[in-house]
Structure 1
């Protein structure tokens, strides 16, 4: 079991601003700080780019139907003519023809395969959009939490600065300290108040961005954080485990693979067009006012030219480019997976170091404040140690949140949270 680090901080009040808030109650699970899965899915239903991506699947289905039907159509020809023979006798004649090109040598099967691959691309693209939206949500979510905790630390610091200022005023009135000590205390009080105002502005902007980008998602308000988990302590082979987990189901890689196969199918289909498709038809005519009736069958075949050869060459080049892009995406995805694993491991180590420094700085600052109250040290020493303690506290909180965010990002990339059904 992991101990919960509880910070005695003031809760962020969003009721006054009309914002709803979701209390995030920390427990042993580092992922407990995230919004519930059901809430995320409901929010994603309102995001335009995901709705458009879902429509793209329907569009791909329509395009598949078009490919299955083919782009050839029936052509009807009707002709009326008048014949005049050598004796000056005139006859009315009518002609009707119906013809249509046909796909042969497996071209129809290839078109159906291209349509199926188009649907696969649309689904992979939608899944990739879902994953990228999840990443963006994760970033914005932790940004609100990070600014909230900075605000809470500054509110604590403001209370302490007010206490130091009150002590300085008493000591100056009692004649135990020079006037400049009171000026130093007041200056520090104003500095902390200004920092708090800046942080409150950043909190408000982060909340506005979260609510604008993810309609219906409730704002997180955290008063405690769960402890991050050391991946190396979980599993000695954690790097290989997480790398395999991320690589085996990666939407960006699946999309690049499907696109490369799609372009390859298109190139193969264009190559088949080096043998032109024939046009088959039937012909019926009435000659000499119906004295003669003709019924026949027609077939026509175009002669391939330089345009077809150039098109095949271009399609082959596009297929090669798509394969090179696939190799590039494979390298990129593997690198990003390793970086995500390393980030989760290193942020944990950094947090442990900064948390230890925070505890030492806090202890030192409390001792110096007591010493100043007793007149054993000057105001400068008390303020400097308090500044160091504040910086260490903010750095420790930031490092802990970074470690939790990296751990959540790792699970997101491995599709263990918020996975598309």
Structure 2
């Protein structure tokens, strides 16, 4: 009768576990809790990061450079002179002269400088946006690392509770004379092992929270309750969604354009700017008054041609960097897109395995309680269930992270706001 009773128990518990799992999944779908902080708090946190403040200063520098290019780098020069003249007959007279001079940009240099200033401001703006995106990536990584360690604490805590239940069952069976003392020793060993694993997980979680609080003091520390169910990839989750609006690629493009403008501007400097001036003079103690106009043209040399060659090299480097960045961004977009799909598939497989393993573990615990299997077999199944549950939980977090990372790179999560 024992095998028949065990079969009946197995079927009953299987149906119970399956129904409970389905109900739990349904509740999880309806009561999904967001894993990420409030967007307004994220914006405030990112704005205050040291790297973002440094990027803000780059914008100030670009604004000042634009103002300088609008006014030009040339300055007015005031020249004063006085000369004493000694003529025949021991007659002494004095001459005074005042002149105002300034180099003047010509051959379209003013228009080039205006374009350079505007392009420099565009570069600084996109550099700030790119810094925002990189800082958001780092924050997302740190946040999910803290969720992973917190999930590990919860997982080992749940497994420890089940192992203590199994130990209590073993103690009752030993006391009733239905099992050997070795069973109780094995159960206590498993409890001690899980207590040590839980303590290690708690230490790792505490360190991760300290890191999170140090770098992002404005954020509320994450509290993990129920993990949302990852969503499968759709037609929108493709490489083009990332490539179409990418700050790093846009920054490299603008830097290449800026280098080309600099090359064109430097080439124009091979023709030096003339220095124009007006002058007024009094000679012979004011007997003669002079008013005139002056122009001086520097004679360009090898130095100016060398500057043009240097600017050409920088323009070539900027173009080569653009090609490198384009390939890098495409590879990263491909990686993020593939992970978005693969992590979901891996989680689905491990989640199914976890459900089956949990069912077997619960059934075997009941079977051991009824004396139908040995404790060593039950512990082995419990160990397998623990490892599978932990892997499934981490895979679920990996899938949720891959989902969030794709949305971040596609600028649908925490998008950059030019007003911040």
Q: Give 2:85's aligned residue.
A: 83
User: Does the alignment pair 1:302 with 2:298?
Assistant: yes
Instruction: Assess, with a 3 A threshold, how the Cα gap between structure 1 residues 31 and 74 changes in structure 2: closer, same or farther.
Output: farther
Q: Give 2:13's aligned residue.
A: none
User: Does the alignment pair 1:359 with 2:355?
Assistant: yes
Deviations 1:277-307 (A, max 9, x none): 1100112211111111222111111111111
User: Is the contact between residue 344 and residue 406 of structure 1 (CA under 8 Å) also seen in structure 2?
Assistant: yes
Instruction: Assess, with a 3 A threshold, how the Cα gap between structure 1 residues 125 and 299 changes in structure 2: closer, same or farther.
Output: same
Q: Give 2:136's aligned residue.
A: 134
- Structure 1, 186-195 or 208-217: larger mean CA deviation: 208-217
Displacement of 1:5 after TM fit? Answer: 8.3
User: Is the contact between residue 354 and residue 392 of structure 1 (CA under 8 Å) also seen in structure 2?
Assistant: yes
User: Does the alignment pair 1:325 with 2:327?
Assistant: no
Displacement of 1:223 after TM fit? Answer: 1.7
User: Does the alignment pair 1:396 with 2:392?
Assistant: yes
* Equivalences for residues 179-258 of structure 1 within 5 A: 179-231=181-233, 234-235=234-235, 238=236, 242-258=238-254
User: Is the contact between residue 159 and residue 386 of structure 2 (CA under 8 Å) also seen in structure 1?
Assistant: yes
User: Is the contact between residue 174 and residue 181 of structure 2 (CA under 8 Å) also seen in structure 1?
Assistant: yes
- Structure 1 spans left out of the alignment, 5+ residues: 8-24
SS of aligned partner of 1:33: coil
- Structure 1, 315-324 or 371-380: larger mean CA deviation: 371-380
Quote the Cα distance in structure 2 between the aligned partners of 1:304 and 1:32.
66
SS of aligned partner of 1:270: helix
Displacement of 1:319 after TM fit? Answer: 0.1
Deviations 1:17-46 (A, max 9, x none): xxxxxxxx9656989332222221232233
Q: Give 1:69's aligned residue.
A: 71
SS of aligned partner of 1:97: strand
* Equivalences for residues 339-358 of structure 1 within 5 A: 339-358=335-354
SS of aligned partner of 1:99: strand
Instruction: Assess, with a 3 A threshold, how the Cα gap between structure 1 residues 197 and 6 changes in structure 2: closer, same or farther.
Output: farther
Quote the Cα distance in structure 2 between the aligned partners of 1:114 and 1:184.
76
- Structure 2 spans left out of the alignment, 5+ residues: 1-20
Deviations 1:88-129 (A, max 9, x none): 211111111111111101111111111111110111011011
SS of aligned partner of 1:268: helix
- 1:271 alignment partner, one of 252, 267, 274: 267
Quote the Cα distance in structure 1 between the aligned partners of 2:350 and 2:214.
34
Quote the Cα distance in structure 1 between the aligned partners of 2:36 and 2:28.
10
Quote the Cα distance in structure 2 between the aligned partners of 1:104 and 1:381.
91
Displacement of 1:378 after TM fit? Answer: 2.2
Q: Give 1:385's aligned residue.
A: 381
Per the normalisation by structure 2, the TM-score is 0.89
Q: Give 2:46's aligned residue.
A: 44
SS of aligned partner of 2:281: strand
Displacement of 1:4 after TM fit? Answer: 9.2
- 1:171 alignment partner, one of 160, 168, 173: 173
User: Is the contact between residue 93 and residue 288 of structure 1 (CA under 8 Å) also seen in structure 2?
Assistant: yes
Q: Give 1:106's aligned residue.
A: 108
Per the normalisation by structure 1, the TM-score is 0.89
Quote the Cα distance in structure 2 between the aligned partners of 1:243 and 1:5.
36
User: Is the contact between residue 33 and residue 226 of structure 2 (CA under 8 Å) also seen in structure 1?
Assistant: no
Displacement of 1:169 after TM fit? Answer: 2.6
SS of aligned partner of 2:223: strand
Displacement of 1:344 after TM fit? Answer: 0.5
User: Does the alignment pair 1:373 with 2:375?
Assistant: no
- Structure 1, 47-56 or 283-292: larger mean CA deviation: 47-56
Instruction: Assess, with a 3 A threshold, how the Cα gap between structure 1 residues 152 and 90 changes in structure 2: closer, same or farther.
Output: same
Q: Give 2:277's aligned residue.
A: 281
Instruction: Assess, with a 3 A threshold, how the Cα gap between structure 1 residues 309 and 28 changes in structure 2: closer, same or farther.
Output: farther
Quote the Cα distance in structure 2 between the aligned partners of 1:251 and 1:210.
26
Q: Give 1:408's aligned residue.
A: 404
Quote the Cα distance in structure 1 between the aligned partners of 2:206 and 2:406.
28
Quote the Cα distance in structure 2 between the aligned partners of 1:98 and 1:31.
73
* Equivalences for residues 145-164 of structure 1 within 5 A: 145-164=147-166
- Structure 1, 94-103 or 25-34: larger mean CA deviation: 25-34
Q: Give 1:116's aligned residue.
A: 118
Instruction: Assess, with a 3 A threshold, how the Cα gap between structure 1 residues 335 and 74 changes in structure 2: closer, same or farther.
Output: same
Two-structure CA RMSD over aligned residues (Å): 2.1
SS of aligned partner of 2:129: helix
